[in-house]
Amino acid sequence: MHPWPQPPGGPHYSVCHFCDTLHEATPLAEGVAARCRCCGAVLYQNRPASLARVTSFSIAALLLMFVVNWFPFLTMDAAGIRTTLNLASGARALIAEGSPLLGVALALFTIVTPLALAGGLLYVCAPLLFGRIAPGAIHVAKWLNKTEPWNMIEVFLLGVLVSLLKLNKLADVHFGPGFWAFGAVMLCMAAAIAGIDRDELWDRLEVAKR
Amino acid sequence: MSGSLPRAAARGLAGCHTCGKVSPVSLGRCPRCGSHLHLRKPDSIRRTMAFMLAAAALYIPANFLPMMTMVELGVVTSNTIVGGIIYFWKGGAYPIALVILTASILIPLLKIISISWLCLAASGKLHPSPAMLGRMYWFTELMGRWSMVDIFVVGILVALVQLGNYMTVTPGPGALAFGGVVVLTMFAAMSFDPRLLWDRLEMLELDSSTLKKTDT
pLDDT at B215 over 80: no
Same domain, B59 and B26: no
Same domain, B23 and B115: no
How many residues would you count in chain B? 216
Same domain, B55 and B121: yes
Same domain, B26 and B47: no
Chain A residues in contact with B157 (beta carbon < 8 A): 163, 166-167
Instruction: Report the alpha-carbon distance of residue A153 to residue A18 in Å, rounded.
Output: 27
Q: How far apart are the first and last CA of chain A?
A: 19
Chain A residues in contact with B195 (beta carbon < 8 A): 17-20
Instruction: Report the alpha-carbon distance of residue B196 to residue B118 in Å, rounded.
Output: 10
Same domain, B66 and B19: no
Within the 60-89 window of chain A, which residues sit less than 8 Å (CB to CB) from chain B?
74, 76, 78-79, 81, 83-85, 89
- Partner residue opposite B194 with nearest CB, options A18, A109, A166: A18
Each residue of A148-168: pLDDT tens digit? 888 888 898 888 888 888 787
- Domain housing B184: 43-215
Rounded to a whole number of angstroms, the distance from the CA of B211 to the nearest CA of chain A is: 25
Instruction: Report the alpha-carbon distance of residue A131 to residue A2 in Å, rounded.
Output: 9
| Contacts of residue B194, Cβ cutoff 8 Å, sequence gap at least 6 | A17, A18, A19, B118, B130, B133, B134, B137
Chain B residues in contact with A22 (beta carbon < 8 A): 5-8, 11, 13, 22
Each residue of A76-120: pLDDT tens digit? 887 777 878 877 888 888 888 878 888 898 889 988 999 999 999
Looking at residue A8, what is its pLDDT?
76
Instruction: Report the alpha-carbon distance of residue B202 to residue A3 in Å, rounded.
Output: 38
Residue A48 CB: number of other CB atoms within 10 A?
12
- Partner residue opposite A199 with nearest CB, options B20, B130, B134: B20
**A155 with B175: Cβ contact below 8 A:** no
Domains of chain A, residue spans:
1-46, 49-209
CA angle, corner A85, sides to A83 and A86, nearest 5? 145
Instruction: Report the alpha-carbon distance of residue B92 to residue B84 in Å, rounded.
Output: 13
CB A108 within 8 A of CB A116: no
CB pairs under 8 A between A and B: 200
CB A193 within 8 A of CB A148: yes
Query: Where residue B34 falls among pLDDT bands split at 50, 70, 90?
Result: confident
Same domain, B120 and B143: yes
Instruction: Report the alpha-carbon distance of residue B191 to residue A45 in Å, rounded.
Output: 25
pLDDT at B2 over 50: no
Helices A100-107 and A87-96 pack at an angle, to 10 degrees, of 160
Same domain, B2 and B74: no
**A22 with B96: Cβ contact below 8 A:** no
Q: Which residues pair with A22 in a beta bridge?
A: A15
- Partner residue opposite B20 with nearest CB, options A20, A37, A198: A198
Same domain, B88 and B163: yes
Instruction: Report the alpha-carbon distance of residue B10 to residue B2 in Å, rounded.
Output: 12
Tell me the mean pLDDT in the region B106-114. Answer: 88
**Run of H or E residues at B23:** strand B22-24
Query: Where residue B213 falls among pLDDT bands split at 50, 70, 90?
Result: low
Looking at residue B1, what is its pLDDT?
44
Each residue of B80-106: pLDDT tens digit? 888 888 888 888 778 878 888 888 888
Same domain, B89 and B162: yes
Number of folded domains in chain B? 2
CA A153 vs CA A53, A119, A203, A209, B103: distances in Å? 20, 15, 29, 33, 15
Same domain, B206 and B116: yes
Q: Considering chain B, what is the average pLDDT of its residues?
A: 83
Residue A126 CB: number of other CB atoms within 10 A?
18
**B160 with A163: Cβ contact below 8 A:** yes
Same domain, B10 and B82: no
**B1 with A74: Cβ contact below 8 A:** no
**ipTM reported for the complex, 2 dp:** 0.84
Same domain, B59 and B114: yes
